[in-house]
Amino acid sequence: MPDLAPAAANTTQDLSDLVIRVENVSKVFHTPSQPNLGALSDIELNIRPGEFVTVVGPSGCGKSTLLKLIAGFSPPSAGRILFQGKEVRGLNTEVGYVPQESKLFPWLTVEENVGFGLDSNRFSRADRERQVSQFINLAGLTGFEKYYPAQLSGGMSKRASIVRALAYEPPVILMDEPFGPLDAQTRMVLQDELLKIWEQKRQTIVFVTHDLVEAVALADHVVVMTHRPGKIKDIIKVSMARPRNIFEIHRQEGFDEAYGRLWNIFRHELNIGAH
Amino acid sequence: MSDQVSREGREPAPSGAVAATSRGAVRSMGTLGVTLIRFAIIVGFFALWQIASGRWIEPFLISSPSRIFTSLISGFREGDLIQHTWVTFQEIAIGFPIGAISGIGLGYAFGRSRILAEIFEPIIVALNGIPRTAVAPLFIVWLGIGLWSKVGVVFLLTFFLNFFITYTGMRQMDQEYIDLARLMRVKGWKLTFKVIFPAISPYLFTGIRTSIPFAVIGAIVGEFVASTEGVGFFIRMSAGIFKTADVFVGIIVLMIMVIVLDKIAEMIEKRALRWQTQTEHIQIQA
């Protein structure tokens, strides 16, 4: 393991062009049964514009909590989060969010869902229609514009949910295990489509997953988190060339090296966390 | 890759289609039998009633289907029954929408404002403990024996039901929908009417449809207490002079009123909730 880069590795870079900066953030939940449930502890993380960052860790390590803090759904217990240099206070409307379940608005059609974030101040009627049909097309949902979410398959809902977050073009998209419940084949197809869309649009993506292969296959950097209370164990740089071929990701140069390093860390984690 | 996409999308279709067909077949076979049995029971009931009347039981107690039918026809032909029906309909047509809308509005407000809910919830629950029909005489005192006292009782009965059901809907609403919408910079009226109300609309319709019979009860109770016209008045007067057939006529009119109102509400509900009821599966062309 030559380059077991500590979390601080990318803090040494120029901070001025960061899109997200997480500074010493901790989060403690107070529930009736556990009054001091530590979810995150002392998180330091820097994300540059256009990066595809994946966050992996065992379940319950606070990966989702981290995303929710960046989205501003709730404030950190300590530390602060800077978004484009400004502290996040309250809801962060500069990010798009793709939740674990698709959470399309069931009372709106595919078309209305995808266009939901395109408000009339920023988009003219014609722009809006163009944007919606472009993203529906990107998601491979052309022909399903008038369908309601209940009529879609799981994979289709997922795709619609992702382009709903992309369509209004927030600079950052947060994705919380979006492909979690899908079967392996569908996952691969969607990973491939996500990368294709991302290569065209190049938004910053923070993508939470518990799948190590997925984490490496998609990312520029993989953030590895430990058991609760979640800490950042390491950040691994993935130097695989793009565009990547998801379907043959194992054969691509750089995969084995990054995956090996990730697995080494994880093996260690599993020993600690074994029950 | 493209065949993987289509495979994934097509998968639910065959199983869904098979299930739908077999279930449909069972239902259509069952429907005929059910209809026949139901029809037989209804016909048998009226036949028994007709036979019993005058033979085993005094006609002034239970009247008879034939007498009721004659009274119904003559009641409408002579016009006073139409007038009574119209009066009762007006009381409901004014009291019900006001009660439903203000109930929904307050339920919504309680759902959005924790402070409001914390202050007023116990008060509302206490008020709800009052048997509402017991308040009807007060409305006569306050609003006179005309239309408005009945409107008041109808309002009271519909308001609480709609309030409680709407408030329940607000509390059960999935917070994630609101968070997502707000993240997309949606707020104000758009958040209310494009997210919150659609999300709780199944509850709204439950409230509205549950409260329809109560609105009619409200109008009748108001008329029973004090009135000079309306179906409730017609029933009370007819019973007072032992015109039992007319009592049943009044009851039938009320029954029809409830059924018609409910059918209208059902039609609106089906249209508004069509996103929920569609269950057919889709197929992706390869």
In a domain? residue A251: yes
| DSSP three-state, residue B154 | helix
CA distance B169 to B159: 15
Most distant CA atoms of chain A, gap in Å: 58
B17 touches chain A (CB under 8 A): no
Interchain pair B8, A186: CB under 8 A: yes
In a domain? residue A6: no
ipTM of the shown complex: 0.83
**Weakest mean pLDDT among A3-12, B78-87, B175-184:** A3-12
The pLDDT, as a whole number, for residue B1 is 37
B199 touches chain A (CB under 8 A): yes
Cβ(A58)–Cβ(A210) below 8 Å? yes
**Would you identify the CATH topology of the domain B62-277?**
MetI-like fold (1.10.3720)
Q: Of A64, A67, A74, A107, which to mutate for an interface test with B (greatest number of B Cβ within 10 Å)?
A: A107
**Which runs of E-coded beta strand occur in A74-227?**
78-83, 86-87, 95-98, 172-176, 204-209, 221-225
Give the residue among A188, A192, A186 at the shortest CA–CA distance from B6: A186
The pLDDT, as a whole number, for residue A184 is 85
The pLDDT, as a whole number, for residue B159 is 95
Q: Of A153, A157, A169, which to mutate for an interface test with B (greatest number of B Cβ within 10 Å)?
A: A153
pLDDT category at B4 given cuts 50, 70, 90 is very low
Please, which residues bridge with residue A243 across strands? none
Question: Which residues form the domain of A258?
Answer: 48-75+90-273
SS3 content of chain B, % helix, strand, coil (to 5): 85, 0, 15
CA distance B220 to B153: 9
CATH of the domain at A52: 3.40.50.300
pLDDT > 70? residue A9: no
pLDDT by residue (tens digit) across B217-238? 999 999 999 999 999 999 999 9
CA distance A189 to A167: 20
SS3 content of chain A, % helix, strand, coil (to 5): 35, 20, 40
**Weakest mean pLDDT among A38-42, A175-179, A269-273:** A269-273
The pLDDT, as a whole number, for residue B18 is 40
The pLDDT, as a whole number, for residue A226 is 85
The pLDDT, as a whole number, for residue A271 is 65
pLDDT > 50? residue B14: no
pLDDT by residue (tens digit) across A172-205? 999 999 887 788 888 888 899 889 888 888 889 9
In a domain? residue A85: no
Interchain pair B183, A152: CB under 8 A: no
| DSSP three-state, residue A116 | coil
- What is the chain B residue with the closest CA to A165? B184
Instruction: Considering only the beta carbons, identify the residue of A106, A116, A189 that sits closest to B1.
Output: A189
pLDDT > 50? residue A6: no
Interchain pair A99, B185: CB under 8 A: no
**Weakest mean pLDDT among A74-88, A190-204, B22-36, B230-244:** B22-36
